[in-house]
Structure 1
Amino acid sequence: MIKLIKLMIGSALLALSLALLIICLEKKNPEKTAAWLSFLALNPLLGMMIYLVFGCTPLKKSLFRSKHMPGEQLPALAHQQKQAFSENEIYIQESIDAKGLSRLLLGKAFAPLSRNNSLTLLHNGDAKFAALLEDLEKAQDHIHMEYYIFHDDAIGRRVQQILIRKAGEGIKIRLMFDGLGSRSLAKNFLRELRAAGIELQWFLPLRFPRAFLTLNYRNHRKLVVIDGRIGYLGGINIGDEYLSRSAKYGFWRDTHLRLEGTSVHTIQETFFNDWYYLTGEIHRDPRYFPKEREDGEMLVQIIGGGPDSHYESIKELFFTMLSTAQKEIVVTTPYFIPDESMIMALKTAASRGVAVKIILQGKPDHKLPYLASSSYFRDLIPSGVEIYRYQKGILHSKVLTVDQEIGVVGSANFDIRSFQIDFELSAVIFGSDFAEKLVRDQEQDLQDSLQITQQDLQSRTPLLSLQIALARLLSPLL
């Protein structure tokens, strides 16, 4: 009996010590802290192990302290443009709000603003791969690809064979795969790439014991750079499911961008920064950053987010857009796990009379985030926020539009993981012409969706309510 009491007292002291440690380390994020304390209450040792793998903020800082290339160009260029803003010499004239947003991205995300860009909106996988395969075939100097998911399937093999053939023509090719998302790639698939002279790197591969420290930090980007002049980014990975060929998922709704112009230099810089982190190589050859030419007139800023930054750039972008909207906000995202500040921004916008609409998955590809997103409805819907569930298939688009003047397309979801943990890449596009194209797509998505009502919330079964509550408890950790 005495031994049992001592064991209980020891466990309680251990839990208390670990709780105090987490409170000290995660004091800036109360929701995250509360979730970790709940884990500790259930099982102190297991909770602490999971915390070290998935949540330790100081560990994140140590992992990515030396990620950036020496002499990185983006901060210097962003600083120059920020000074030009102060002297009214910058060329963005859309609105005061657009200027403020652009200046924020210059200061917090080191995202240079460029105007000589041409953009193509790629609606779903068919459009993306038709354009990408044609551009790969026409490559003259180099191809850089960085993907979270790259599958060894029909479209994956087709891309692979083009790359092997282009390498044989003397084109320099570098590939980067995420160690978790692309872990299913077969050895012979990779061997064939390397045999052709293609350079290949894994971003934080699952190698034990280091995987315990790196598992939670994923490269969620989906980018391509061809000859330093053509760039791709968005939500579409390399896999047959993105072409709606999967029997499991069926129709797949997604959005991607094809870019030409100076904005491609920022995508290139992002790729080389990640490449430097993995290899230590620094690439500054002018061939990778060809001289500017007049490809178009669109104003674009490319914003990268990730745990290597002192700022939560993606979150600050979204928050500012929500806070300055005057007429309409439309959010399209498969995974919706906002923190308290983002919930307040959405509710406040609706209270100001802004039409706020959120389009989410109706058919989930991951059940837990789907349930967790449902937990926010009771807070948002009474405030006037309209929430819709997409019914036509799997919704995977990541798009935000405000007042039909500014649009964001990229890899970032409207969730804590994209704000704080994963490496993301998005394009901010200024101008009503392109924003209206995005809005037309969103309007079609709304027609293919069902609106969630108060009656839907009231009709939840006790079991479903319990599942949603448990998923909400885990939401800061997803």
Structure 2
Amino acid sequence: MPTRTPEAMPPASHAIADTAATLLGKIAAEALPDRSSSAFRLLPLAASAYETRIELARQAERTLDVQSFVFNGDRTGAYLLGALRDAAARGVRVRLLIDDLHSDSVEPLLSDLAAFDRVEVRLINPFVRARGSRASKLISSLDQLSRVNHRMHNKLFAADNAFAVFGGRNIGDEYFMRAARGGNFVDLDLLAAGQVVRDLSASFDDYWNSEHAWPIDLIVRPGSTLAERRLRFDARQAVIQAPPPDLGVPARFAQYATLPDELRAGRLRLVPVPAQVLADPVDKLAGARVADRAGTVRAGAGQAMANAHSEVFVVSPYFVPGELGMQVTEQNSQRGVRLRLLTNSLAATDEPAVHAGYMAYRKEMVSIGAEVYELSPSLARERGRLGRFGESTGVLHAKVIVIDQARLFVGSMNLDGRSERYNTELGVLIDGPELARDFLSMMDFESSTYRLRLGPDGELRWVRGSGEAEIVLDQEPEVGVLRKLLARVLGALLPQNWL
């Protein structure tokens, strides 16, 4: 790791405190009951979630703060970087904070973007050897595993400290339903205004000004002048077209497609409700929270679930509850609290290693009364009720917890050991029955999932449909022998606390 001398240490910077004079600040103020309140809008549609980010970048006048675990160099990522460059040209300060694990595809663009005035790019916990690919970065850093195993998983897009988008989406084609083949992610973001935005920005500042955030020029040697880097960035951007619109909006999602237009018109409807930001302390990047949950996002969300009165509904693409999670599940079951879980099937998941950890718990969960649903990639594509996938398949990526149909947690946190111990996370706990009910109405259990139950022999069954149309399978559906074998081998080899 290079040594940062005092001369190379970047100056600290912070979110602006006064947003009242900005256009976005005025739009937010009109949508809020008062300055101390918070308000939200669900963003379940990928195209709308992306266009909302673009529109915020276009309307920003003072600051744009972007934080992401993955930021790909594909058309979706590159076009957004162009919007950030354009904002900087108008006088907007742009701060871009990216975890370094997946940065290889976008590294040249990030490096050249950092050459523009008013743009700063920093990498979290960077790799300093063999930067050609993620595999080479990891292999060359095995002697630094205690450091590089900790990653920033937070996701945030804040404009003028007046509006913020947060949730589960990284930046890349597949996160916005634009991957032509393979998997497209079913995900959820929220647009926020009010006090919650200022709290989210304060968390961004903590990470931005930490010792773990390195200016990209200290890690990726430019090798060109500032002018040459700007010209190179502009030349690449000149041939990048806006990502295409999605493949169609399911009718029941139509009301969520209008947010970018509402922003352009300067008037939008938000739901004002109390909320609390849950943000992992920055020292988690240094390993300070591996054995200590205190003050973490997992602790806050876990306490909210433990306090449930009637129901906990968990949506998590990667679900490995661990011993403590199973204790809470059993305690809730004994108190009559209904637990429903929606996660990926083995066929849908993009992380078979994590799925292997989940497989160790699902039979016990079903046996104590949990209702477990696994997303079918083929059914999600065929039915189209969760989005239009074209030739691609559906993969669950949303991270949502609904408690008593009245409280809603949305953020970056998966319910697995990696999110708990090694990755930093960000989310918001919202006391909003209207938002909770709206989200629950979107979920599609019958047509796009398998429900797990135990057969007469005590083994798992996968059930689709109901009544006379019910189909019962006694093997993992839609998946071949090799993928099943891979999951079982990984489950046996990898430590549970890594999954």
The TM-score, its normalising length taken from structure 2, stands at 0.66
Matching residue of 2:297: 314
Is the partner of 1:397 in helix, strand or coil?
A: coil
Q: Does the alignment pair 1:299 with 2:274?
A: yes
Alpha-carbon shift at residue 314 of structure 1 (Å): 2.3
Whether the 8 Å contact between 1:369 and 1:475 is mirrored in structure 2 is: no
Is the partner of 2:85 in helix, strand or coil?
A: helix
Superposition RMSD in Å? 2.9
Whether the 8 Å contact between 2:316 and 2:342 is mirrored in structure 1 is: yes
Is the partner of 1:414 in helix, strand or coil?
A: coil
Matching residue of 1:474: 495
1:220 to 148, 153, 157: 153
Letter in 1 for 2:190: L
Matching residue of 2:102: 181
Alpha-carbon shift at residue 194 of structure 1 (Å): 2.4
Whether the 8 Å contact between 1:115 and 1:298 is mirrored in structure 2 is: no
Distance 2:213 2:338 in 1: 48
2:370 to 381, 385, 388: 385
Alpha-carbon shift at residue 457 of structure 1 (Å): 2.2
Given the superposition, is the C-alpha separation of residues 264 and 467 from structure 1 closer, same or farther in structure 2, using an over 3 Å criterion? closer
Alpha-carbon shift at residue 398 of structure 1 (Å): 0.2
Matching residue of 2:208: 275
Is the partner of 1:322 in helix, strand or coil?
A: helix
Distance 1:296 1:188 in 2: 37
Moved more, 373-382 or 137-146: 373-382
Given the superposition, is the C-alpha separation of residues 330 and 201 from structure 1 closer, same or farther in structure 2, using an over 3 Å criterion? same
Matching residue of 1:31: none
Q: Does the alignment pair 1:194 with 2:215?
A: no
1:253 to 168, 183, 186: 186
Matching residue of 1:145: 66
Alpha-carbon shift at residue 416 of structure 1 (Å): 1.5
Given the superposition, is the C-alpha separation of residues 466 and 160 from structure 1 closer, same or farther in structure 2, using an over 3 Å criterion? closer
Distance 2:312 2:447 in 1: 17
Which aligned pairs between 1:61-460 and structure 2 lie closer than 5 A? 116-208=37-129, 211-278=144-211, 297-306=272-281, 307=284, 311=294, 313-362=296-345, 363-391=348-376, 392=380, 393-442=394-443, 444=444, 447-455=447-455, 457=460, 459=474
Given the superposition, is the C-alpha separation of residues 446 and 218 from structure 1 closer, same or farther in structure 2, using an over 3 Å criterion? farther
Report Cα offsets for 1:406-461 as digits up to 9, x if no partner. 1100000111211221111001001311221222223x256421101213627459
Report Cα offsets for 1:225-248 as digits up to 9, x if no partner. 110111111100110011222244
Letter in 2 for 1:405: A
Report Cα offsets for 1:304-329 as digits up to 9, x if no partner. 12525661522222332232222111
Distance 2:406 2:109 in 1: 47
Given the superposition, is the C-alpha separation of residues 181 and 188 from structure 1 closer, same or farther in structure 2, using an over 3 Å criterion? closer
Report Cα offsets for 1:343-382 as digits up to 9, x if no partner. 1111221232222111001201111112221111121111
Given the superposition, is the C-alpha separation of residues 387 and 169 from structure 1 closer, same or farther in structure 2, using an over 3 Å criterion? same
Distance 1:380 1:419 in 2: 20
**Structure 1 residues without counterparts, runs of 5 or longer:** 1-68, 73-113, 282-293
Report Cα offsets for 1:40-62 as digits up to 9, x if no partner. xxxxxxxxxxxxxxxxxxxxxxx
Distance 2:364 2:295 in 1: 24
Is the partner of 1:183 in helix, strand or coil?
A: helix
Whether the 8 Å contact between 2:122 and 2:213 is mirrored in structure 1 is: no
Alpha-carbon shift at residue 213 of structure 1 (Å): 3.6
Whether the 8 Å contact between 1:330 and 1:357 is mirrored in structure 2 is: yes
Letter in 2 for 1:424: E
Distance 1:397 1:279 in 2: 27
Matching residue of 1:87: none
Is the partner of 2:121 in helix, strand or coil?
A: strand
Among all aligned residue pairs of Structure 1 and Structure 2, give the percentage whose two residues are the same amino acid: 23
Alpha-carbon shift at residue 469 of structure 1 (Å): 7.0
Alpha-carbon shift at residue 395 of structure 1 (Å): 0.2
Given the superposition, is the C-alpha separation of residues 239 and 70 from structure 1 closer, same or farther in structure 2, using an over 3 Å criterion? closer
Whether the 8 Å contact between 2:402 and 2:436 is mirrored in structure 1 is: yes
Report Cα offsets for 1:233-287 as digits up to 9, x if no partner. 1100110011222244334200111100011111111111001114899xxxxxx
Given the superposition, is the C-alpha separation of residues 215 and 138 from structure 1 closer, same or farther in structure 2, using an over 3 Å criterion? same
Matching residue of 1:3: none
Distance 1:366 1:466 in 2: 11
Whether the 8 Å contact between 1:407 and 1:435 is mirrored in structure 2 is: yes
Matching residue of 1:108: none
Distance 1:445 1:460 in 2: 20
Size of the alignment, in residue pairs?
Answer: 356
Distance 2:490 2:78 in 1: 40
Given the superposition, is the C-alpha separation of residues 377 and 206 from structure 1 closer, same or farther in structure 2, using an over 3 Å criterion? same
Whether the 8 Å contact between 1:351 and 1:384 is mirrored in structure 2 is: no
Higher helix share: 1
The TM-score, its normalising length taken from structure 1, stands at 0.69
Letter in 2 for 1:402: I
Whether the 8 Å contact between 2:67 and 2:157 is mirrored in structure 1 is: yes
Whether the 8 Å contact between 1:359 and 1:446 is mirrored in structure 2 is: no
Is the partner of 1:195 in helix, strand or coil?
A: coil
Distance 1:165 1:206 in 2: 29
